[in-house]
Structure 1
Amino acid sequence: MIKQVLSVACGSALLFAAACNSHHDEADVNKKTGDILKANLDTTVNPVNDFFDYANGGWIKTHPIPDEQKSWGIAYLVQEDLYNRLKTINEQAVAKADNATAKKIAAFWKSGMDSACINKQGMTAIQPELQLIDQIKSKEDVLAVAAKLNVMGIGVMFGNYVGQDDMNSEKMAMMLVQGGLGLPNRDYYFNMDDRTKKIRDAYPGHIERMFNLAALAPITETKTKSQGIVRLETRLAKASRKLEDLRDPYKNYNKVAVSALGKLTPDIDWQKWLPMMGVNKLDTVIVGQPEFFKELNAALLSESIDVWKDYLKWNVINDLAPYLSAEVEQANFSFYGQMLSGAKKQKPRWKRVLDEEEKAMGEALGQLFVKEYFNEKAKKRYSDMVEDIREALKDRIKKLDWMSEGTKEKALVKLAKMKKKVGYPDKWKDFSAMEIKDQAYVRNVIAAREWWHRYEINKLGKPVDREEWDMTPQTYNAYYNPSNNEIVLPAGIFTVPGKRDEELDDALVYGYAAASTIGHEITHGFDDQGRQYDENGNLKNWWTKEDETKFNTRAAVMIKQFNAYIPVDSQHINGSATLGENIADLGGVLLGWDAFIKKEQYKKGEKIAGLDPGQRFFLGYSLGWLYSFRKESLAQQLLTDVHSPAKYRVNGPFSDVDAFYKVFSVKPGDGMYIADSLRVRIW
């Protein structure tokens, strides 16, 4: 589990790269126009009124969302390239499994692709877990089975994971957090807007249908059972914190001695439960939301054994449905894929198997991926770009007029110590003990999860491995880890579909890569959450009270700005929940611009495809947020995601950037205009 404070850029940058993508419409457009930025424009839109629609509208109008997707855009185009590359790696492993890693890749791929065998096996592959639940006779048995399911990666009752101690980044700690819900988060159980209410009303019927398909109970009893499950989950949801409240690292940090956990949950014997999870000789845990665990204890006492057994069975079938028969898998998709996210049909099986293989042993695939697709020259280019951005933030910090000199000095120390990881890890994980073999697909999935559980638990009591990566090299994403004070930039994030690196000018690159990814991630070290961690990754206040107040006052301007945006129906962006990402987006644009204007292309001012360097920079950034969404998916994002929708990750920060006003001559009365005194001024 990645820490909530971690950033997910989900957005842009580029790679030397991209072979094997002639199948893309994007590539066809590029061949005709010669310029990806020009090709995507909707010139019927005035950029000063809606820059996102101007920059990306031409592409969006001509590229409807495929039926199997809930949204469509740049990441999916890149992913298409990645899918095809990874498919080739798997097929080569099947044809010639000449080492242990290739054999595991081949076994996983074959078990996932054998749909006839999966359908024939039906529910028999998970009978051991269902029979174990049937044997439950006491609350102690409920807890014991819950421990076993958690080892299998089925998060029943609550969440738990191993991570760095926020107050001591040199130590790994066991985290206990709220969880155990079948709907995406607590708001789905209580919000009264029509869309969310429709989902909530359909949820009991979905559980009932899944019970019937899996023959988990007599048909005459499944309706009552589904109602009991929803009632139990609603209790847990009511005691759960809202999305924005989970972003306060201090309020979600409560270190408790294992011996004292009984005061919080007197009916859960943690000294027996933790060893069932493989956790031994543990002195303390960090409890994220104590009030949730109090309610869990109360529910354990007051809800019947039968309700708990039904709840556990529901979690098993709900979690493992994608790896079972086509009928069960489709029913699961109908609710979670179609109703919640708006997708019209499932991805092809081979892509679904690759998605799961990525979770299981993506780094094993990554070793083969980088040999073929990410060379040392590419790694150096983006390593150097990180230093350009670091220097830009250094200059900005020195020039701040609202921050005291003492806090500035500490900020500069933190920036200087921020570690960069680019492309791929220097040390690869060893998957030799992972039990992937010729067996049912779902058993291979479970075997991978159990390996990961042991891998994570094994970190307790050992020195922190600061060289480890939490993403695979082929991932189209990036993150900032506050506990390590590091930015991690996988090779996959540096990809533009249909283009090779040498074809891309600096203006596009510094918008697309330096601003929306590198600058974004570096700024996370200084957003409303990241700023609370020191240069060594410890949760420690290094700000003066006055500086902290000034920061919060400036951040409040951004909260107000984003609260006013209404992306779908009557649903507003949650400015508090998305604050960290919005600050990082704005910081990324500012830093990318500061770095770009030092480049020769900007100084020369020559146009490409009729666009000057400044225009190409802002269009390059916008390319990183080239997405369209189904309404269902957008509504879900607004309730569950700390990132603003793509359109507002362009229009929002641009409205606060003075250089944007100059480049595009934005004036009062224009849609993108915000009065100078009301613009966000932080970093």
Structure 2
Amino acid sequence: MSTASAGALHGIQPDDINRKADACTDFYDYANGAWRQQNPIPDYMDRWSRRWQSGELNKERVRDILNELSARTDWPKGSAGQLAGDFYAACMDESRIDALGSKPVQPWLDEIGTIGDRAGVQRMIGKLHDAGVGVPFVLFAGEDLREPSQTIAHVYAGGLGLPDRDYYLKPEPRFVEARAKYLVHVAKMFELAGAPAEQAQRDAQTVFDFEKRLAEASLDNVQLRDPKLQDHPTAFADLSKLAPSFDWGRYFDAAGVPRNAVNVTQPKFLQQVDKELATTPLPQWKTYLQWHLLNTAADSLSQPFVEENFAFNGKFLTGATQMKPRWKRCAELTDTQLGEALGQKYVEKYFPPQAKARMQDMVKNILAAMDDTIGELAWMDDATKKKALEKRSTFVAKLGYPDKFKDYQGVAVSRDSAWDNVVAASRWNVADNRSQIGKPTDRSRWGMTPPTSNAYYNPLQNEIVFPAGILQSPAFDVNATDAVNYGAIGVVIGHEISHGFDDQGAQFDAKGRLSNWWTPADGKQFAAKGQCVVDQFEGYFIEPGQHHNGKLVLGESIGDLAGAKIAYRAYLKSREGKGPEPTLDGFSPEKQFFIAWGQFRGDETRLETQRTMIQGDPHPVAKYRVNGPLSNLPAFQQVFECKAGDAMVRAEEKRCEVW
């Protein structure tokens, strides 16, 4: 039976399959190895697949919308069209930006340079925070971990220019190289801003030494995955005991934030900031603050700043050899800063009502499959099952776009200065976030913009969120068979649901509270099953001597493993009473389900990016996101008739199953 005779619904991409590969040896190579061979990573990207290609196509759609908006200059002032259109137009005016050089940030640099006392340092920290420059700490609104129906202020560690603390501290050659290149990079940026070469080198060393002290007081990437380690409710009055050198009253009042209790995520870090405020000489503070201003502003300044920023953060850290075209960078920046103004136009064009309806149906089926899976678990007792099912029953799914878009009222955007627009939009976004502090949690708000090609789970609201930007082919297509949709976006839906029950999510209860709902025996069983996944991924190397950190990728890997299992279960159940879907090129619908996952997730990734990922990214590299979970699934082995001993069949005593 052909796909054509099935009513124009399409299946997998058979030409992407590497027919020379063996599905039971390396499914990542098999599922879309032919596509990767024929489609090398573009110079400006750090990874590539049909999924990433679709994400870049999505940006072309965004560009087309922005071109339409920016072509008009008669939008009502403050309207979505005026804000997004003028923001994009100013960003695209390369000749004007280049002519201005570093002038847009010079008043800021000068103001930092004239700081005369420690109170001035604190006032400048507040001013930088207002504009979204998170140095040396960050204050951000978020749900109270113990009572998520209320929103409070959280104080986070910030102020590092390298990806994370280990880059400052670890002795391995790749970190040593990164430190050396970072010093050169910081010095070059100071030179571009007008500092003599020798002074710029001294300033770079000052910045590095300052940041290293902060890094030494920071949690590492694995510790940051444990919410209990970041749960430190602190009365406002006690902030001054923790960091007495900082005038918290003045800072909160200037920020318009009520003097309520806060959560200090890393007390040791804040104590180190206090020590710096008390003892570090003013010139060093000024150099440090000037660097973080330049680092934030670089991409909105003239071409030499943009190129130097790319040389370190692009070429060195990701392996990309060419900068993205300006239109793409401007489209991304507009989405970051004014995404809900832009998003209204996006969903009108690219997310029809029938797409939302089909997604709602899939989510319902996959949630039901999760219920069935929990109910059948042999290792979990009835008391814990009851709590797990209660939690599952309170899940909320947000699809496509918010019910109410932000209005960005009061943002002043013009075509005169790209950097000034970034500051104006950042100030609005910061103030909008702060406005939630001390209020009941607004569950209608979104953490991603509608055009974003991604998804997330929020344990504090027990919600899974899928913006319209990810609900495009190859992740999801209203014209695709169920096998393809369940194998691609269906596994992602299952993955996000599973985050509610991974090593982090399992610490939050049905109301989103950081609360232990496990019996002691089941808690131990769960930890042991997680350790199986840790051990599995510790064995996945990207090059000799460099393997995944199993504890770092544990949550995402539990998500992939459970996501594939429950999405497949939901797919089979969804077809009951409907008859079989078509076979395509000899591939049964069941095979197409798994191939769809391999084709969606099967990125080619630059080695430099893989090195950065295994250091700090909780997601494994693509090869092991495909092969890792499937090698544990009996259903995959049955469908592809894999035998014991095949690489895609983990030995029974090593097979991992959490959910």
Whether 2:36 is the aligned partner of 1:60: answer: yes
Q: Is the 8 A contact 1:511 1:621 kept in 2?
A: yes
Deviations 1:286-308 (A, max 9, x none): 01111111222222233211111
Aligned to 2:5: none
Paired letter, 2:362: M
Read off the aligned partner of 1:295 and give its amino acid letter. Q
1:432 aligns with 2:409: yes
1:98 deviates by 3.7
Query: Displacement of 1:682 after TM fit?
Result: 1.4
CA distance in 2, matches of 1:159, 1:639: 23
Distance in 2, matches of 1:144 and 1:313, equals: 14
Partner of 2:103: 124
SS in 2 for 1:131: helix
* Structure 2 match to 1:40: 16
Question: What is the alpha-carbon distance in structure 2 between the residues aligned to residue 499 and residue 541 of structure 1?
Answer: 36
Partner of 2:372: 395
User: Out of 70, 80, 91, which is 1:94 matched to?
Assistant: 70
**Structure 1 residues 35 and 540: alpha-carbon distance in aligned structure 2, compared to 1, 3 A threshold:** closer
TM, length-normalised to structure 2:
0.95
Deviation at 1:522, TM superposition (A): 0.8
Residue 236 of structure 2 corresponds to: 258
Aligned identity (percent) is: 37
C-alpha deviation, 1:275, in angstroms: 2.2
Q: Which residue of 2 aligns with 1:80?
A: 56
CA contact (8 A) 1:568 1:634 kept: no
Residues 123-158 of structure 1 show CA distances to partners (whole Å, capped at 9, x for unaligned) of 111122111101112222112111111111111112
Query: Who is 1:134 aligned against?
Result: 113
1:276 to 242, 249, 254: 254
Q: Secondary structure of the residue that 1:590 maps to in structure 2?
A: helix
After the TM superposition, which of the residue ranges 393-402 and 429-438 deviates more from structure 2? 429-438
Q: Using the alignment, how far apart are the partners of 1:208 and 1:105 within structure 2?
A: 34
Does the Cα contact within 8 Å between 2:152 and 2:437 map onto a contact in 1?
yes
Q: CA RMSD in A?
A: 1.7
CA contact (8 A) 1:81 1:497 kept: no
The answer to which of 314-323 and 67-76 deviates more is 67-76
Deviations 1:166-224 (A, max 9, x none): 11111111111222101010011122332222111111111111111111x33331211
Q: Secondary structure at 2:543's aligned position in 1?
A: coil
Please name the residue that 1:22 is paired with: none
Structure 2 matches for 1:574-589, cutoff 5 A? 574-589=549-564
- The answer on whether the counterparts of 2:140 and 2:153 sit within 8 Å (CA) in structure 1 is yes
1:458 aligned residue:
435
Shift of 1:541: 1.2
1:600, distance to aligned residue in structure 2 (A): 3.5
| Cα displacement string for residues 504-535 of structure 1 (whole angstroms, at most 9, x for unaligned residues) | 222111101111x1111111111111111111
Contact 1:70 1:341 in 2 (8 A): yes
From the superposition, tell whether residues 415 and 497 of structure 1 become closer, same or farther in structure 2 (CA, over 3 Å).
closer
Residue matched to 2:161: 182
Equivalent residues in 2 for 1:357-368 (5 A)? 357-368=334-345
Q: Which amino acid aligns with 1:619?
A: I
Q: Distance in 1 between matches of 2:92 and 2:390?
A: 51
**Displacement after TM superposition at 1:227 (Å):** 0.9
Task: Supply the distance in 2 between the matched residues of 1:293 and 1:600 (Cα, whole angstroms).
Answer: 55
Q: Distance in 2 between matches of 1:588 and 1:178?
A: 32
Structure 2 residue aligned with 1:238:
216
Deviates more, 1:598-607 or 1:505-514: 598-607
What CA distance in whole angstroms lies between the structure 1 residues aligned with 2:579 and 2:522? 36
1:608 match: 584
Specify every segment of 5 or more residues in structure 1 that has no aligned partner in the other structure, as ranges.
1-30
**Structural mapping, 1:312-351, within 5 Å:** 312-351=289-328
Instruction: Find the residue that maps to 2:542 and give its secondary structure.
Output: coil
Tell me if structure 2 keeps the 8 A contact 1:259–1:271. Answer: no
2:286 maps to: 309
Other-structure match for 2:275: 298
Q: 1:499 to 1:417 in 2, by over 3 A?
A: closer
User: Any idea what SS the aligned residue of 2:329 has?
Assistant: helix
Residues in 2 aligned to 1:166 and 1:569: alpha-carbon distance in whole angstroms: 41
Sort the Cα spacing of 1:559 and 1:258 in 2 relative to 1 into closer, same or farther, 3 A: same
What residue number does 2:533 align with? 558
Change (3 A) 1:238 1:499: closer
Mapped partners of 1:359, 1:321: distance in 2: 16
Secondary structure of residue in 2 paired with 1:176: strand
- TM-score scaled to structure 1, two decimals? 0.92
In the alignment, which residue of structure 1 is the partner of 2:202?
224
Instruction: Write out per-residue CA displacement over residues 13-69 of structure 1, whole angstroms, 9 at most, x where no aligned residue.
Output: xxxxxxxxxxxxxxxxxx9xx864311111221111111011121111111111111
Q: Secondary structure at the match of 1:434?
A: coil
CA distance in 1, matches of 2:539, 2:116: 53
**Once the 2 structures are TM-superposed, how far is the Cα of residue 120 of structure 1 from its aligned partner?**
0.9
Following superposition, the deviation at residue 603 of structure 1 comes to: 5.9
Distance 2:156 2:346 in 1: 35
Q: Distance in 2 between the 1:35 and 1:391 partners?
A: 25
Between stretches 305-314 and 256-265, larger displacement belongs to: 256-265
Q: Secondary structure at the match of 1:624?
A: helix
CA distance in 1, matches of 2:397, 2:465: 6
Q: Which structure ranks higher in relative contact order (CA pairs < 8 Å, sequence separation ≥ 6)?
A: 1
Paired letter, 1:623: Q
Structure 1 segment 397-436 matched on structure 2, within 5 A: 397-436=374-413
Q: Does 1:197 align with 2:173?
A: no
Letter in 2 for 1:38: P
Matched, 1:531 2:531: no
- The one-letter amino acid of 1:657's match is L
3-state secondary structure, aligned to 1:403: coil
Matched, 1:596 2:581: no
Q: State how far apart, in whole Å, the 2-side matches of 1:220 and 1:615 are.
A: 63
Cα distance in 1 between the residues matched to 2:638 and 2:49: 29
Q: Secondary structure at the match of 2:604?
A: strand
1:544 corresponds to which residue? 519
- Conserved? CA contact 1:101–1:432, under 8 Å: no
Contact 1:480 1:522 in 2 (8 A): yes
In structure 2, the partner of 1:155 is: 134
1:355 is the counterpart of 2:335: no
Q: 1:485 to 1:651 in 2, by over 3 A?
A: same
SS in structure 1 at match of 2:573? coil
Aligned equivalents of 1:362, 1:283: Cα separation in 2: 30
Helix, strand or coil at the partner of 2:397: strand
Note the alpha carbon deviations across 1:300-323, whole angstroms, 9 max, x for none: 233211111100111111110000
Aligned partners of 1:133 and 1:145 also within 8 Å = yes
